[in-house]
Amino acid sequence: MPDAKWLADMEARIPHGGVRTRFAPSPTGYMHVGNLRTALYTWLIARHAGGKFILRIEDTDQGRLVDGAVDVIYRTLAECGLTHDEGPDVGGPVGPYIQTGRRDFYKQYAELLIEKGAAYRCFCEKTESGEDSGDFSREDDPCRALTREEADARAAAGEPFVIRQRMPREGSTTFHDAVYGDITVENRELEDQILLKSDGLPTYNFANVVDDHLMGITHVVRGAEYLSSAPKYDLLYRAFGWEIPTYVHCSSVMVTDAQTGAARKMSKRRGDPSYEDLIADGYLTPAVVNYVALLGWSPGGEREIYSLSELAQVFDIHGVSKSPAVFDINKLTYFNAEYLRAMSQEDFARAAGPWIRKAVKNPAVDAGQIAALLQQRTEKLTEIPEKVDFFDALPDYSPELFIHKKSKTDIPGSLETLQKLLPALESLPVWDDEHLLQVLTQMAEAEGVKNAKIMWPLRIAITGRAVTPGGAVEIARILGRDETLRRIRFALTRG
């Protein structure tokens, strides 16, 4: 029998009067893009309304738990700025915020449903594991016909059982979703789902309803794949006599399969990136968050770039689309480039520094000066090492690079230019952009040629690359006098 006083005390502590949302991940691995989007939309709904955002860890599926996954959840939310007001680490008025810590709660509510006639004990052999076999038919379950006394007696005798929801056999159930509108399902299509397994732990569907009610959740955000379960949730809420929260089902996040060209759901198993993969691949967290916000939601208008606080101001459930969203890595790269270019020079230098040092080990080379060359020329941080490795060591290059049609240079002419440049650079009184540029432009003027005909040979000699971030002047300044002259002398030995 359920404890009436305990149930009343639980009801009394439920917060009322404001928007309360929750992100309730299972600690089963990485944070995929769909999870991140759910967390983001949930957070935005709460912040837009001045409400509370709750983190709840759903760990009842013990067989799928992954060590360290809870830490991934905390770290990802923190990095993305999705601060929670209540949760396992910060506490709150309706804890515990980890489902296994609430284990005893679910039995009370399952027993309450039995008392109300909305659930029953099932003693079928296949229920010992606590999971449906997939072909369970409530019509064939003799346990539905047991009286309460008969079921109590069998349970008291030690027979293993699960508690199932008693679905109505006639009529239909209609529920409302903020995105999809009213959806009606014939009750005969609904199976008597398990609520409490034989080990005493609740199923996902039951624990969600109980916990959302007891935590005062007003808006439930989840993937569209849960639409089929929504009628069962509704029937549970109605059986308890509880207020039904606002459902917000989000369409799937799709990706174009590289082999078939067809759209499919994102999947880590298929090599699609998680949030952590994207960060490791050189994307900035604010760019990822901004892009993910637009995967299935539109603020209206042409604007695309929003800070997290700006998203909270403009987010509206009615902008969520029913159509599947397509994750486009090229579009994300565009967003990332916009964010990189909008950073302050100091912030970009901090972000780029570790990537520069992957390639440029020489401490005498100023990473900050290299970063200044990169900011307007970088789309992803992972591009940086291959762009700047020539600062550390001159690559083995072909003299053919001295040939450049647009600059009107060839190998003999380039070597002649370098031969003339060498003494001028050796005698340069101050090694900075102004004086370096002056030497190069004065030589071009004296030779009666365009600046490029002097700049190109110098760039090749000191970088060994046809494409570089920054031009010959900036690169020579960063390399310094001694290294620049050494590389020019080396180039002259190759002619």
Residue 393 burial (CB count, 10 A): 12
Active-site option among 126, 268, 420, 450:
268
Residue 134 and residue 112 in contact, taking contact as beta carbons nearer than 8 Å: no
DSSP 379: S
Cis peptide before 354 (omega within 30 of 0): no
Question: Cα angle vertex 381, ends 385, 31, to 5°?
Answer: 130
What is the separation of C-alpha 346 from the centre of its chain, rounded to a whole number of angstroms? Answer: 26
From its phi and psi, is residue 92 left (phi > 0), alpha (psi between -120 and 50) or beta?
A: left
CA distance 172 to 371: 64
Report the C-alpha gap between 472 and 483 in whole angstroms: 13
Q: Is 107 a catalytic residue?
A: no
Amino acid at 399: P
Rg of the chain over CA atoms, in angstroms?
32
Q: What is the DSSP string of 225-243?
A: GGGGGHHHHHHHHHHHTPP
Q: Which residues of 272-284 are buried (b: 16+ CB within 10 A; e: fewer)?
A: bbbbebbbeebbb
Q: Write out the catalytic residue numbers.
A: 268
